[in-house]
Amino acid sequence: MIETQSLCVSLGGAQVVHDIDLTVERGRLTALVGPNGAGKSTLLAALGRLVPPAAGAIRVDGTEIGRIPSPDLARRLAILRQNAVIAPRLSVADLVGFGRYPHSGGRLTAQDHDIVRDCLADLDLTDLAGRYLDTVSGGQRQRALIAMTLAQTPDALLLDEPLNNLDLSHVRRVMAVARARAETGAAVAVVLHDLTVAARHADHIVALKSGRVFASGPPEEVVTPEILSALYDTPLEVHDIAGKRVVLTV
């Protein structure tokens, strides 16, 4: 669905992503992992056309991303940013409703209202729908932003650290929703810090270090003590517990 070719991205004059070839495929949940400053968020922002590439190409379904009209792209691709700041005083339901803007331009149809209601329910926000964003907690706000991204009903879903501020039960819920979207044919890319979560939920893991792909492949290949210790420059243990991989820092 999304494909990059020798992609380089610069931020404020410094190149932070170098020469990346990567494919985010439909029907698959791709996890981006790596240490702080590895360029994960920048790469994701470039895939979501928020930052223009310095060199190389990004193609969505074979078309250069810059050539796709903006409203068109917004119906096919949605991105959740880290630390998104929402200035106006909006209710949770209003914010999620904005996710339908690319489809109906600000006038919600009955179908749009159904989608908004489903997305609110998916993220356990139904009871908070009428609350103002500035009166809910950080985790609830984060879930509202995720729900808005989901309400865009995109073919490609890009989530930058969606698990920030979330408690255990909502971590599970968000990953389950992301998986469900992948299983119904969407291309999902998620930046994750928790390697155990990545190993459990992802079909494909891309590890970035210093702006380059350090390792990539299915979780069994990437989540190993050797690769992860080298990736983070710190000793990490990988244990098999009940057939699932668990990554420990000691």
Partner 1 sequence: MRGPPVAKPLVLAGLACALACGLFLTLGARGDWGFVLAFRGQKLAALLVVATSVAWSTIVFQTVTGNRILTPSIMGFDALYLLIQTALVFTLGGVGFAALGQRLQFGIETALMLGAALALFAALLRRSDDLGRLVLTGIVFGILFRSLSSLLNRLIDPSEFAVVQAASFARFNAVNTDLLWIAAATTTVCVALLARRSARLDVIALGRETAIGLGVDHDREARRAMALVAVLVSVSTALVGPVVFFGLLVSALAHAAAGTWRHAVLLPLAALISATVLVGSQTIFERVLALETSVAVVIEGLGGLVFLALVLKGAAR
Which one, 47 or 213, has the nearer CB to partner 1? 47
- The least distance separating partner 1 from the CB of residue 152, rounded to whole angstroms, comes to 8
CB 103 within 8 A of CB 112: yes
- The least distance separating partner 1 from the CB of residue 52, rounded to whole angstroms, comes to 11
Q: Say how far apart CA 174 and CA 247 lie, in whole Å.
A: 20
CB 80 within 8 A of CB 159: yes
Amino acid letter, 240: D
Q: Specify the pairing of strand 55-60 against strand 63-64.
A: antiparallel
Which one, 38 or 44, has the nearer CB to partner 1? 44
- The least distance separating partner 1 from the CB of residue 132, rounded to whole angstroms, comes to 11
Torsion over CA: 166, 170, 175, 177 (sign): negative
Which one, 68 or 230, has the nearer CB to partner 1? 68
Q: Say how far apart CA 156 and CA 189 lie, in whole Å.
A: 8
Which one, 88 or 243, has the nearer CB to partner 1? 88
- The least distance separating partner 1 from the CB of residue 66, rounded to whole angstroms, comes to 12
Which one, 93 or 208, has the nearer CB to partner 1? 93
- Tell me which residues touch partner 1 (CB under 8 A): 48-50, 70-75, 78-79, 81, 84-90, 93-94, 97-102, 105-108, 149, 152
CB 90 within 8 A of CB 141: no
- The least distance separating partner 1 from the CB of residue 34, rounded to whole angstroms, comes to 22
Q: Which helix or strand (DSSP H or E) is residue 248 part of?
A: strand 244-249
